[in-house]
Amino acid sequence: MGHSRAQPKKGTWAHPRTCSSFRLTLCCIIDCFIHLLFALSFLLSPSQNQLSGNLLRKFKNSNGWQKLWVVFTNFSLFFYKSHQDDYPLASLPLLGYSVTVPSESENIHKDYVFKLHFKSHVYYFRSESEYTFERWVYSNRGK
């Protein structure tokens, strides 16, 4: 006779850890529940991951500053000409970008400027006050 696992007698209780299909089902349920909680937390609290306001943008090799309405959401910046626009001019996914302040050697002699950089891509942003500067820098730090 072949070797087989002892099965509980009809009407008796079997501990769930002895049943591999139960463990597999339980793992799937837990995994789905975790994904559902993550999705719900994102949908129910988007304000934790959203910021908008006027910023001045400067590219690495340009001289002037461009005033834009900028929205930060879903780990991306969306650039609009004004807050009344329905569609962005451009977007910038921030995955991999670092947020710092410009060094003296970069010759950015303005207040409230922060720098987003990833490899050779460099963007400078200038806010209107220390308060908005801190909000933008703080909201982009965790990316």
Report the C-alpha gap between 88 and 77 in whole angstroms: 10
Which of 39 and 113 is assigned the larger pLDDT?
113
pLDDT, position 138: 80
Report the C-alpha gap between 49 and 19 in whole angstroms: 42
pLDDT > 90? residue 61: no
The CATH number that domain 49-141 falls under is 2.30.29.30
φ/ψ of residue 103, rounded to 5? -85, 165
pLDDT, position 45: 46
Instruction: State mean pLDDT over 125-129.
Output: 94
Global pTM reads 0.63
pLDDT > 60? residue 53: yes
